[in-house]
Structure 1
Amino acid sequence: MTLKNWPSISYRFLAVAVASSTQLLLFGFLSSKPAFSQILPDNTLAVPSQVTIDGNVHTIEGGTEAGSNLFHSFQDFSVPTGSEAFFNNATTVENILTRVTGGNISNIDGLIRANGTANLFLLNPNGIVFRENARLDVGGSFFATTANSLVFENGLEFSATSANAQPLLSVSVPLGLQFNQNPGAIRVQGTGHNFSFAVPGLALTPIIRGNGDSGLRVSPGQTLALVGGEVTLEGGTLRAEQGRIELGSVAEGRVGLSPTGLGWMLDYEGVPSFQDLRLSQRAAADVSGEGGGAIQMVGRQVTLGEGSVVLIQNIGLQPSGSIRINASESMEVLGLRPDATFQSSVYSQTLGTGRGGDIAISTRQLVVRDGAEIAARTLSPGQGGNIDLKVSESVEVLGVSPIDPRFISTISSNALGLGDGGNTTVSTARLSVRDGGLISSATFGLGTGGKLTVNATEFIEVIGGDLRTFPSSLTGQTVTVGDGGDLTIDTPRLVLQEGGQVTTSAFGSGQAGSITINATSSIEASGSLLPGFPAGVTSNAQPAPEILQQNLGLSGVVSGTSGDVTINTPVLSLTDGAQVTVANPGTGNAGSVQVNAGSIFLNDEGGITAATASGEGGNVILRADDSLQLRRASQITAEAGGTGNGGNLTLSADTIALLEGSTISANAFEGRGGNIQIATQGLFLSPDSNITASSQLGVDGIVTVTDPEVDTSSALVSLSDNPIDPTTQIVSTCAIAEENTFIVTGNGGLPADPTGILRGEDVWVDTRLSEDLEVAPIEASTSEAEDSSEEDSSIEPQPLVEATGWQRHENGTVELVVTPQGQLGNRWLERPVCRD
Structure 2
Amino acid sequence: MSGKGGGQVFIRGGQLVMRDAVIQANTMAAQNGKVIDLQLNESINISGELQTILSKSFGKGNAGHIIIATPNLEIIGSSHILTNNFAQGDGGNIDINAQQIKMADGATIICAAYGSGQCGDLNIKATKSISLLGVSKSNYIRAGLPYINYPTAIATTAHHGTGGQLNIESDQIDMVGSIISTSSLGIGNSGDVQINAGTLNATDGSIITSSGLSSGQVGNIDINVKNTLSLSRRRVGSYITATGIKFKNNRSSITNLGMTDKGGDISISAQTLKMDKEGFISASILGRATDETSGKITIKTNNLYISQGGLINNSNGIFLGGKFHVGAGHGGSIEIQAKNIDIDVDQSDLPTGIFSNTYSKRSGGDIKIQTDSLNVTNDGTISARSNATGNSGSIVIQADIIKLTNKGKISTEAKNAVGGNIVVKTPNLLYLHKAAIITSVGTGEGKGGDITITSPVFVVMDSGIIKAQADVGHGGNINIESEQFITSPDSLISASSRLGIDGEVKIESPNVDLESFLVILSDDVVEASSLIQKPCRMRGSSFFVQKINGS
TM-score higher than 0.5 here?
A: yes
The whole-number CA distance in structure 2 between the counterparts of 1:417 and 1:642 is 36
Distance in structure 2 (CA, Å) of the matches to 1:114 and 1:684: 80
**Aligned residue for 1:449?**
263
Report the counterpart of residue 563 of structure 1 in structure 2.
Answer: 365
Distance 2:105 2:3 in 1: 37
Find the aligned partners of 2:213 and 2:65 in 1 and give their Cα distance. Answer: 33
Distance 2:397 2:23 in 1: 57
Distance apart, 1:693 and its partner CA: 0.4
Match of 1:501 in 2: 311
- Evaluate the alpha carbon distance shift between residue 218 and residue 438 of structure 1 in structure 2; reply closer, same or farther with a 3 A threshold: same
Q: Is the 8 A contact 2:63 2:90 kept in 1?
A: no
1:642 is aligned to: 443
Q: Which residue in the other structure is 1:459 paired with?
A: 272
**Aligned equivalent of 2:188:** 382
2:55 alignment partner in structure 1 = 240
The yes-or-no answer on 1:411 pairing with 2:204 is no
Partner of 2:298: 488
- In structure 1, give the amino acid aligned to 2:259: G
Shift of 1:559: 3.9
Q: Which of 1 and 2 has greater Rg?
A: 1
| Residue in structure 2 matching 1:230, options 43, 55, 60 | 43
The answer to whether the 8 A contact 1:277-1:298 is kept is: no
Cα distance, 1:528–1:617 mapped onto 2, change above 3 Å: farther
Change (3 A) 1:315 1:585: same
Question: Which residue of structure 2 aligns with residue 396 of structure 1?
Answer: 201
Alpha-carbon distance between aligned partners in 1 of 2:483 and 2:447, rounded to the nearest angstrom: 29
Q: Does 2:95 align with 1:296?
A: yes
Is 1:474 equivalent to 2:281 in the alignment?
yes
- Match for residue 718 of structure 1? none
- Name the CA distance, whole Å, in 2 between partners of 1:537 and 1:116: 55
Contact 1:650/1:676 (8 A) holds in 2: yes
How far is 1:585 from its partner?
1.8
Following superposition, the deviation at residue 480 of structure 1 comes to 4.3
Asked if 1:589 corresponds to 2:391, the answer is yes
Paired AA for residue 514 in structure 1: S
Q: Tell me how far 1:305 sits from its aligned partner.
A: 0.7
**Aligned ranges for residues 724-739 of structure 1 at < 5 Å?**
none
- Between the aligned partners of 2:509 and 2:400, the Cα distance in structure 1 is 18
Per the alignment, residue 367 of structure 1 pairs with 174
Aligned AA (2:8): S
How far did residue 447 of structure 1 move? 3.5
2:507 alignment counterpart: 705
The correspondence for 1:619, drawn from 414, 421, 425, is 421
1:379 partner letter:
L
Alignment deviations for residues 607-635 of structure 1 (CA, whole Å, 9 cap, x no partner): 00011001100000000110101002x10
> Partner letter of residue 284 of structure 2?
Q
Equivalent-residue separation in structure 2 for 1:219 and 1:388 (angstroms):
29
The aligned counterpart of 1:432 is 230
What residue number does 2:401 align with?
Answer: 599
SS where residue 694 of structure 1 aligns? strand
* Range with greater deviation from structure 2 (312-321 or 688-697): 312-321
What's the counterpart of residue 152 of structure 2? 344
2:126 equivalent to 1:318: no
- SS for the counterpart of 1:187 is strand
Separation (CA, whole Å) in 2 of partners of 1:265 and 1:232: 16
The farther-off stretch of 290-299 and 643-652 is: 290-299
**In structure 1, how many angstroms separate the alpha carbons of the residues matched to 2:281 and 2:257?**
15
> In structure 1, which of residues 178, 189, 212 is the aligned counterpart of residue 19 of structure 2?
189
The answer for the alignment partner of 2:381 in structure 1 is 579
AA aligned to 1:347 is A
For residue 420 of structure 2, give the secondary structure of its aligned residue in structure 1: coil
Give, in angstroms, the shift of residue 293 of structure 1. 1.8
How far does residue 318 in structure 1 lie from its aligned partner after superposition? 3.2
- Structure 2-normalised TM-score? 0.79
Is 1:524 the counterpart of 2:325 in the alignment? Answer: no
Could you tell me which amino acid in structure 2 is paired with residue 348 of structure 1? T
SS of residue in 2 equivalent to 1:570? strand
Partner letter of residue 10 of structure 2? F
Q: C-alpha distance in 2, partners of 1:695/1:573?
A: 30
Percent identity reads: 25
Structure 1 position 216 matched with structure 2 position 19:
no
Q: Hey, what's the Cα distance between the residues in 2 that align with 1:438 and 1:529?
A: 20
User: Residue 395 and residue 702 in structure 1: after superposition, are their counterparts in 2 closer, same or farther (change >3 A)?
Assistant: same
Q: Distance in 2 between matches of 1:265 and 1:417?
A: 29
User: Which of 300, 315, 328 is residue 127 of structure 2 equivalent to?
Assistant: 328
Given residue 461 of structure 1, which amino acid in structure 2 is its aligned partner? K
Q: Aligned pair 1:692/2:494, yes or no?
A: yes
Structure 1 position 412, deviation (Å): 0.6
Number of aligned residue pairs: give it: 457
- Map Cα deviations across residues 698-740 of structure 1 (whole Å, 9 max, x no partner): 00000111259xxxxxxxxxxxxxxxxxxxxxxxxxxxxxxxx
Deviation at 1:497, TM superposition (A): 1.1
- Unaligned 5+ residue runs, structure 1? 1-112, 118-138, 147-183, 191-213, 244-259, 269-273, 400-407, 465-470, 543-557, 709-836
Kindly provide the CA deviation profile for residues 510-564 of structure 1, in whole angstroms up to 9, marking residues without a partner as x: 2221100000x21011016753x3221111124xxxxxxxxxxxxxxx4453211
SS of the aligned residue for 1:374 comes to strand
Conserved 8 A contact 2:3-2:26 = no
* Matched-pair contact (CA < 8 Å) for 2:275–2:311: yes
* Contact persistence 1:506–1:561 (CA under 8 A): no
**In the TM superposition, what whole-angstrom CA distance separates every residue of 1:159-218 from its partner, at most 9, and x where no partner exists?**
xxxxxxxxxxxxxxxxxxxxxxxxx2101113xxxxxxxxxxxxxxxxxxxxxxx72221
Distance in 2 separating the partners of 1:702 and 1:114 = 78
CA distance in 2 between counterparts of 1:505 and 1:699 reads 31
For the 8 Å contact 2:281–2:312, the answer to whether it is kept is yes
> How far, CA to CA, are the matches of 2:65 and 2:217 in structure 1?
31
The 8 Å contact of residues 516 and 565 in structure 1, kept in 2 or not, is answered as: yes
Contact kept in structure 1, 2:280 and 2:311, CA below 8 Å: yes
Evaluate the alpha carbon distance shift between residue 578 and residue 332 of structure 1 in structure 2; reply closer, same or farther with a 3 A threshold. Answer: same
Amino acid at match of 1:526: D
Q: Deviations over 1:788-812 (max 9, x none)?
A: xxxxxxxxxxxxxxxxxxxxxxxxx
- Matching residue of 2:72: 276
- Give the superposition deviation at 1:266: 5.6
Tell me by how many angstroms 1:242 deviates: 4.3
Q: Is the 8 A contact 2:118 2:158 kept in 1?
A: no
- Equivalents in 1 of 2:3, 2:330: separation in Å? 58
RMSD of equivalent CA atoms: 2.2
Q: Please, which runs of 5 or more residues in structure 2 have no aligned partner?
A: 28-32, 139-147, 235-250, 318-325, 511-551
